Structure formats: C-alpha cells, structure tokens
Amino acid sequence: MKKFFITLAVLFFIIVFDVLFSKIFPFYLRPNLWLVYVVFISLFLTHTEAVLIGFISGLIYDILHLTLFGTNTLLLTATGYLLGWLNKRVNETLLNVQVLSILFGFMVYNILYFLISLLLKTVSYNFIILLSFFATFIIGFLELQVLIILYRRYDLI
C-alpha cells in the first residue's frame, strides 16, 4: 500500500515537472522524466512493475504531450520490459551502472521509436529529438538519485 501511494506521488510530481519542462524547453531539448522513472523501476523494483509502470507512464506521456496516442505507451512498455531484464542481474547501487542504464534506456527508447516510425507511417521520427539526450541525462540522473533516496527512506528498495 505504501508503495502504491509513493508511486502515485511520484507520478504526480513527474506530471508537474513534465508539464513545466514542456513549457520551458522546446520538444527536442525536453528531458524524458518518464523514461528515467521506468529505468529506475527496472533497476530497483521488479520486472513486472517495470512493464506496468512503463505502460502507465507511456499512457500519461501520450495524454500530456498529445503525440499519436499509443506511441509512447508502446515505447515505454517495451523499454520497461527490455530494461527489466537487467533487474537483479546488475549491481544497481553503482553510479556507473545507473548512468549506463539511463544511456541504455535512452538508446532503446529511440531505436524502438525509429523502428516504429519505419513500421507505421502515421508515426514520424525526428532525429533532432536526440538532442534531448543531454537534458535527459543530466536531469534524469538527478531524478534517479531523488527517487533512490525517496524509496530508500520508505524502505521500498
């Protein structure tokens, strides 16, 4: 139950910051906070939760940013599923693992996005979105640390 409310609170704050960042940054510089949250769940919680959170995050992302509905749901679910395989297989407490996980998550997300854009003509991929890596990496890393502290404080990890 505690985990449920914490997750709800985290989702709420990510929505707030995502809306704010979407107003401040252009789309190609906006950090993908949802992706980082999925990476965190994949590393620190369970594989199932990674898929579930990936799906929910994608759904909210699609609602907030009015992309082609379902694109990010598919992408984040897939990213959560793929990164979920790392669960219990790597030492998630190491900083370099966390950094590489974000990098890996970003790569997976964009590769899948590109592949989907090839498969579905309604989805278009713009390579300029790769510029958001810097923001995602810097702000995402901070977000990851905050999430770790929060979840540790409530003995959820």
Partner 1 sequence: MTIKEFFTKNKPTILFFLFVLLSLIFLSIQTITEQVHSIRVFFVYFFSVSYIPVYKIVNYPFNTFNKFLQLSYMYEENMKLKELVKKFYMDKMYYSSLVEEQHHQQLVNELSKNIGYKLYLAEVIFRDCKNWYNECVVLVKSSSTLSRDMPVIVYVEPDKFYFVGRIWTIDKNIAKILLITNPLSMLPVKIKDKPIYGVLIGESSVKLSMDYLLLEDDVRIGDVVVTSSIGNLPGGIEIGRVIDVEVSLTGFKKAVVKLNYNINALKNLIIVSF
With binding defined as CB under 8 A, does residue 121 bind partner 1? no
108, with CB counted inside 10 A (0-12, 13-18, 19+), is buried
Helix extents (H) in 25-131: 33-44, 47-65, 71-84, 95-119
154 and 6 Cβ atoms separated by less than 8 Å:
yes
With binding defined as CB under 8 A, does residue 70 bind partner 1? yes
Identify the residue among 8, 9, 63, 130 touching partner 1 (CB under 8 A).
63
The pattern of x and - marking residues 15 through 54 that bind partner 1 according to CB under 8 A reads: xx--xx--xx---------------------xxx-xxx-x
- Report how far residue 94's alpha carbon sits from residue 1's, in angstroms, rounded to the nearest whole number: 28
Query: Which residue, among 108, 107, 126, has the nearest Cα to 117 in the 3D structure?
Result: 126
With binding defined as CB under 8 A, does residue 71 bind partner 1? yes
With binding defined as CB under 8 A, does residue 74 bind partner 1? yes
With binding defined as CB under 8 A, does residue 111 bind partner 1? no
132 and 28 Cβ atoms separated by less than 8 Å:
yes
With binding defined as CB under 8 A, does residue 145 bind partner 1? no
What residues line the site for partner 1 (CB under 8 A)?
A: 15-16, 19-20, 23-24, 46-48, 50-52, 54-55, 58, 62-66, 68-71, 73-74, 77-78, 81, 84, 120, 122-123
